[in-house]
Chains A and B, each alone.
Chain A
Amino acid sequence: MNQLGFPILTTITFLPLAGAILLLFVPREREELLKWVTLIISLVEFVISLPLFIYFDEGKAGMQFVEKVPWIKEWGVTYYMGVDGISLLLILLTTFLTVLCILSSWRAVEKSVKEYMISFLFLETGMIGAFVALDLILFYIFWEVMLIPMYLIIGVWGGPRRIYAAIKFFLYTMAGSVLMLVAIIALYFLHGKATGVYTFDLLKLYQVSLPIKTQYIMFAAFALAFAIKVPMFPFHTWLPDAHVEAPTAGSVILAGILLKLGTYGFIRFAIPLFPAAAFKAIPVISVLALIGIIYGALVSMMQDDLKKLVAFSSVSHLGFVMLGMFAFNVQGVQGSIYQMLNHGVSTGALFLIVGMIYERRHTRLIADFGGLSRVMPIFATFFMIVALSSIALPGTNGFVGEFLILLGTFKANPVYGVFGATGVILAAAYMLWMFQRVMFGDIKHPENRGLKDLNFREIVTLVPIIIMIFWMGIFPKFFFKKMDLSVQHFLYDVKARYEAAVTAPEGGGFLVKGVKGSKVKLLIKE
Chain B
Amino acid sequence: MIEYVWLIPLLPAVGFLFNGLIGRWYNLDKRVVSWVACSVLGLSFFFSILVFFSLLKLPPDARAAVPDKVLFDWIVSGGLKTVIGYKIDPLSIVMAMVVSGVSFFIHIYSVGYMHDDPGFTRYFAYLNLFVFMMLTLVLANNFLLMFVGWEGVGLCSYLLIGFWFERDAPANAGKKAFVVNRVGDFGFLLGMFLIFAHLGTLEFNEVFAKAHLLDPVTVTMITLLLFVGATGKSAQIPLYVWLPDAMEGPTPVSSLIHAATMVTSGVYMIARCHVIYSMAPVSMAVVAIFGAATAIYAASMGILQFDIKRVLAYSTISQLGYMFLAVGVGAFSAGIFHLMTHAFFKGLLFLGAGSVMHALSGELDMRKMGGLWKKTPITFWTFLMATLAIAGIPGFSGFFSKDEILWQAFSSPHGHLFLWLVGAVAAGMTAFYMFRLTFVTFLGQCRASEEVKKHIHESPPIMTVPLIILAVLSVIGGYVGIPHVLGGRNYFHEFLAPVLGGLPEGAGHASLSLIKSAYAAGAVEEIGSVNWEIILMVVSVVIALIGISIALYLYILKPDVPKRLAQRFRTLYTIVFNKYYVDEIYEACFVSSAKKIGTFFWREFDDGVVDRSVNLVAGLMLWWGRVLRKIQTGYVQGYALGILLGAVVVIIFLIK
Taking a contact as CB atoms under 8 Å apart, the answer to whether A395 and B186 are in contact is no
- A-side contacts of B602, CB under 8 Å: 299, 302-303
- B-side contacts of A105, CB under 8 Å: none
Of the candidates B24, B167, B179, the one whose C-beta lies within 8 Å of that of A429 is B179
Given A298-B598, A477-B74: A410 and B190 within 8 A (CB)?
A: yes
Taking a contact as CB atoms under 8 Å apart, the answer to whether B597 and A424 are in contact is no
A334 to chain B, nearest CB (A): 5
A506 to B329, CA, bound (A): 61
Interface segment among B60-68, B310-318, B606-614: the answer is B606-614
- A-side contacts of B75, CB under 8 Å: 400, 403-404, 476-477, 480
B135 to chain A, nearest CB (A): 14
A172 to B185, CA, bound (A): 39
Please tell me if A371 contacts chain B, counting CB pairs below 8 Å.
yes
Given A301-B598, A302-B598, A440-B166: A394 and B193 within 8 A (CB)?
A: no
Taking a contact as CB atoms under 8 Å apart, the answer to whether B599 and A477 are in contact is no
Of the candidates B24, B148, B166, B594, the one whose C-beta lies within 8 Å of that of A394 is B148
Given A299-B602, A480-B77: A433 and B175 within 8 A (CB)?
A: yes
Interface 1/0s, chain B 177-196, versus A by CB < 8 A?
A: 01100110110011011101
Please tell me if A344 contacts chain B, counting CB pairs below 8 Å.
no
Taking a contact as CB atoms under 8 Å apart, the answer to whether A334 and B78 are in contact is yes
- A-side contacts of B175, CB under 8 Å: 432-433, 436
Please tell me if B629 contacts chain A, counting CB pairs below 8 Å.
no
Given A432-B175, A433-B175, A442-B166: A302 and B80 within 8 A (CB)?
A: no
Interface 1/0s, chain B 184-221, versus A by CB < 8 A?
A: 01100110111011000000000000000000000000
Please tell me if B376 contacts chain A, counting CB pairs below 8 Å.
no
Interface 1/0s, chain B 21-53, versus A by CB < 8 A?
A: 000100000000000000000000000000000
Interface segment among A21-29, A111-119, A352-360, A414-422: the answer is A414-422
B32 to chain A, nearest CB (A): 19
B232 to chain A, nearest CB (A): 10
Taking a contact as CB atoms under 8 Å apart, the answer to whether B78 and A329 are in contact is yes
- B-side contacts of A168, CB under 8 Å: 614, 618
- B-side contacts of A399, CB under 8 Å: 151
Taking a contact as CB atoms under 8 Å apart, the answer to whether B144 and A429 are in contact is no
- B-side contacts of A300, CB under 8 Å: 598
A393 to B185, CA, bound (A): 11
A11 to chain B, nearest CB (A): 32
- B-side contacts of A122, CB under 8 Å: none
Taking a contact as CB atoms under 8 Å apart, the answer to whether B594 and A388 are in contact is no
- Give the total of B residues in contact with A, Cβ under 8 Å: 52
Given A299-B601, A394-B152, A429-B594: A335 and B77 within 8 A (CB)?
A: yes
Closest residue on chain A to residue B596 by CB atoms: A302
- B-side contacts of A377, CB under 8 Å: 24
Taking a contact as CB atoms under 8 Å apart, the answer to whether A330 and B77 are in contact is yes
Taking a contact as CB atoms under 8 Å apart, the answer to whether B597 and A425 are in contact is no
A117 to chain B, nearest CB (A): 32
A82 to B79, CA, bound (A): 28
Taking a contact as CB atoms under 8 Å apart, the answer to whether A477 and B73 are in contact is yes
Given A388-B155, A400-B75: A302 and B190 within 8 A (CB)?
A: no
CB-CB contacts below 8 Å: A232-283 with B? 234, 236-238
- B-side contacts of A238, CB under 8 Å: 614
A394 to B136, CA, bound (A): 12
Taking a contact as CB atoms under 8 Å apart, the answer to whether B166 and A331 are in contact is no
A189 to chain B, nearest CB (A): 29
A415 to B290, CA, bound (A): 27
Please tell me if A374 contacts chain B, counting CB pairs below 8 Å.
yes
Of the candidates B80, B179, B183, B618, the one whose C-beta lies within 8 Å of that of A331 is B80
Taking a contact as CB atoms under 8 Å apart, the answer to whether B197 and A373 are in contact is no
Taking a contact as CB atoms under 8 Å apart, the answer to whether B189 and A299 are in contact is no
Please tell me if A225 contacts chain B, counting CB pairs below 8 Å.
no
Please tell me if B165 contacts chain A, counting CB pairs below 8 Å.
yes
B interface majority secondary structure:
helix
Please tell me if B585 contacts chain A, counting CB pairs below 8 Å.
no
- A-side contacts of B196, CB under 8 Å: 407, 411
Taking a contact as CB atoms under 8 Å apart, the answer to whether A406 and B171 are in contact is no
Please tell me if A197 contacts chain B, counting CB pairs below 8 Å.
no
- B-side contacts of A477, CB under 8 Å: 72-76
A407 to chain B, nearest CB (A): 6
Please tell me if B172 contacts chain A, counting CB pairs below 8 Å.
yes
- B-side contacts of A410, CB under 8 Å: 190, 193-194, 197
Taking a contact as CB atoms under 8 Å apart, the answer to whether B74 and A476 are in contact is yes
Taking a contact as CB atoms under 8 Å apart, the answer to whether A374 and B171 are in contact is no
Closest residue on chain B to residue A426 by CB atoms: B594
Given A295-B601, A331-B78: A432 and B151 within 8 A (CB)?
A: no
- A-side contacts of B168, CB under 8 Å: 440-442
Given A334-B78, A441-B168, A477-B73: A424 and B179 within 8 A (CB)?
A: no
B145 to chain A, nearest CB (A): 9
Taking a contact as CB atoms under 8 Å apart, the answer to whether B152 and A395 are in contact is yes
A236 to B192, CA, bound (A): 32
B197 to chain A, nearest CB (A): 5
Closest residue on chain A to residue B133 by CB atoms: A395
Of the candidates A237, A330, A432, A440, the one whose C-beta lies within 8 Å of that of B78 is A330
Q: Which of B144, B171, B186 has the most C-beta atoms of chain A within 10 angstroms of its own C-beta?
A: B171
A395 to B166, CA, bound (A): 28
B608 to chain A, nearest CB (A): 11
Interface 1/0s, chain A 297-314, versus B by CB < 8 A?
A: 011111100000000000
Please tell me if B381 contacts chain A, counting CB pairs below 8 Å.
no
B53 to chain A, nearest CB (A): 31
Of the candidates B78, B167, B190, the one whose C-beta lies within 8 Å of that of A417 is B190
Interface 1/0s, chain A 387-410, versus B by CB < 8 A?
A: 010000111000110011011001
Please tell me if B147 contacts chain A, counting CB pairs below 8 Å.
yes
Please tell me if B354 contacts chain A, counting CB pairs below 8 Å.
no
CB-CB contacts below 8 Å: A409-456 with B? 410-411, 414, 417-418, 421-422, 424-426, 428-429, 432-433, 436, 439-442
Taking a contact as CB atoms under 8 Å apart, the answer to whether B79 and A393 are in contact is no
A459 to B95, CA, bound (A): 40
Interface 1/0s, chain A 154-188, versus B by CB < 8 A?
A: 00000000000000100110000000000000000
Closest residue on chain B to residue A338 by CB atoms: B77
Taking a contact as CB atoms under 8 Å apart, the answer to whether B186 and A421 are in contact is yes
Q: Which of A295, A303, A377 has the most C-beta atoms of chain B within 10 angstroms of its own C-beta?
A: A295
Closest residue on chain A to residue B193 by CB atoms: A410
B559 to chain A, nearest CB (A): 39
B459 to chain A, nearest CB (A): 29
B595 to chain A, nearest CB (A): 6
A150 to B514, CA, bound (A): 77
A422 to B178, CA, bound (A): 15
Please tell me if B547 contacts chain A, counting CB pairs below 8 Å.
no
A298 to B553, CA, bound (A): 53
A145 to chain B, nearest CB (A): 24
Interface 1/0s, chain B 340-378, versus A by CB < 8 A?
A: 000000000000000000000000000000000000000
- A-side contacts of B165, CB under 8 Å: 373, 439-441
Taking a contact as CB atoms under 8 Å apart, the answer to whether A407 and B80 are in contact is yes
Taking a contact as CB atoms under 8 Å apart, the answer to whether A298 and B77 are in contact is no
A332 to chain B, nearest CB (A): 9
Closest residue on chain A to residue B148 by CB atoms: A394
Taking a contact as CB atoms under 8 Å apart, the answer to whether A234 and B610 are in contact is yes
CB-CB contacts below 8 Å: B119-169 with A? 144, 147-148, 150-152, 155, 158, 162, 165-168
Q: 6 pairs across A/B with beta carbons < 8 Å?
A: A302-B598, A329-B78, A334-B77, A393-B152, A407-B193, A432-B178
Task: Contacts A301-B595, A373-B165 known; list 15 others, CB within 8 Å.
Answer: A237-B606, A298-B601, A331-B78, A394-B151, A403-B75, A407-B80, A410-B193, A418-B190, A424-B185, A424-B186, A440-B171, A441-B165, A441-B168, A441-B171, A476-B74
Q: Which chain A residues have a beta carbon within 8 Å of chain B's beta carbons?
A: 168, 171-172, 234, 236-238, 295, 298-303, 329-331, 334-335, 371, 373-374, 377, 388, 393-395, 399-400, 403-404, 406-407, 410-411, 414, 417-418, 421-422, 424-426, 428-429, 432-433, 436, 439-442, 474-477, 480, 484, 488
- 3 tightest Cβ-Cβ pairs between the two chains A and B: A330-B78, A440-B171, A394-B148
